Amino acid sequence: MLRDALGIGVATGAYALSFGALGTAAGLSVTQTCATSVLMFTGASQYALVGILGAGGSPLAGAATAVLLGARNALYGLRLSQVLGVRGGWRLVAAQLVLDESSAMAVGRASPLGARLGFWATGLAVYLLWNLGTLLGALGAQALPDPRALGLDAAAPAAFLALMAPRLTGREPWLVASAAGLVAMASVPLVPAGVPVLLAALVAVVAGARPSRAARREERRGASAPGRREEARR
């Protein structure tokens, strides 16, 4: 388990190199770029923030998008609160380490001890190496005359695709992703930078509020069950 946690941390740290370079390319200082990793510590939200700032969007639009993407961690926290059983000041530390990787390593364990060890080992490894990667990437980009000449401005959209692709495991997620992408592209000429991402997120929120196909089928079965029972009595 510890080896798995370290492997995840190393892979994430390597990924953070591109974020550090992107942060400085978007106009943030090394200190500001590193502060987002220390304080925010959620890769998708950080990429969203620097991507929107780099495209000329407002900080408000960047912050709103980052909050939307980071909201999933609150749902992870609800589940993990029952698994970890932390109290007092440790709750604040645990909350900072809640992310996709640490949550997956915790909820996939059979024993409570294994779940806690998986969470803490993965969370700490990712936190330390993500911040180290951010620092090295930011310092390295500052040494370049023009980081965008290397195509670093395209890394943020590429990172989003890499984060999203593993989650498109069915027909409905593909439809929602395609609709959100079309809305974002259509709105680019009409609204300020950063707003198309919020509109795309709104599409996902509306789609998520609708019952899933499986839930609709189950509802139809439930509605037709009394009729079938009545026919059977006759």
Which one has a higher pLDDT value, 11 or 119? Answer: 119
Q: Is residue 41 part of a domain?
A: yes
Domain membership of residue 183 as a residue range: 168-234
Last residue of a domain, one of 97, 128, 152: 152
pLDDT of residue 129: 93
Total-model pTM: 0.69
Helices (H), the chain: 2-25, 30-35, 43-54, 59-70, 72-84, 90-96, 100-107, 112-142, 155-164, 171-187, 195-209, 213-233
Considering 88-97, 163-172, 214-223, the range whose residues carry the highest mean pLDDT is: 88-97
Are 173 and 138 found together in one domain? no
Tokens linked to 194: 């950063």
Mean pLDDT across the stretch 133-144?
87
Residue 75, both tokens: 């749902």
**Is 159 a member of any domain?**
no
Q: How many domains does the chain have?
A: 2
118 shares its domain with 36: yes
| pLDDT single digits (tens) 150-204 | 665 555 566 556 656 666 777 888 888 888 888 888 887 887 766 777 787 788 7
